[in-house]
Amino acid sequence: MAATEVTPLPTRVVDARGSFCPGPLMALIGAIREAKVGDVLEVWSSDQGSRRDIPFWVNKAGHELVALADEAGYTRFVILKKR
């Protein structure tokens, strides 16, 4: 039996659908500032630029991109606050 990955349940969901660059990233940055270390944030973004910008910023800021999934009309990012 193969092990399956389990995405942790989010502490907070940031619905940035309909926002354009840099809106979704700025919403994530604000949520990260309010979060505690170990919190899991989920960002929903319909902006195509977020697929590049959010993973880049998460890595640069020292957090962890746990999951990235294409949903109907938007991308779902799951981020673990590491510091």
| Residue from 15, 17, 21, 65 carrying the catalytic annotation | 21
**Per-domain residue ranges of the chain:** 12-80
Q: How many Å apart are CA 25 and CA 22, to the nearest integer?
A: 6
Mean pLDDT of the chain: 93
Tell me the CATH class for 12-80. alpha beta
Q: How many Å apart are CA 22 and CA 78, to the nearest integer?
A: 18
Q: pLDDT tens across 18-51, in order?
A: 999 899 999 999 999 999 999 999 999 999 999 9
Q: How many Å apart are CA 14 and CA 31, to the nearest integer?
A: 8
Residue 28, H or E segment:
helix 23-34
Report the candidate in 40, 45, 3 with the shortest Cα–Cα distance to residue 21: 45
Helices (H) and strands (E) in the chain, counts: 2, 4
Determine the longest span between alpha carbons in the chain, in angstroms.
43
- pTM of the model as a whole: 0.90
**Active site annotation includes 53:** no
How high is the pLDDT of residue 5? 63
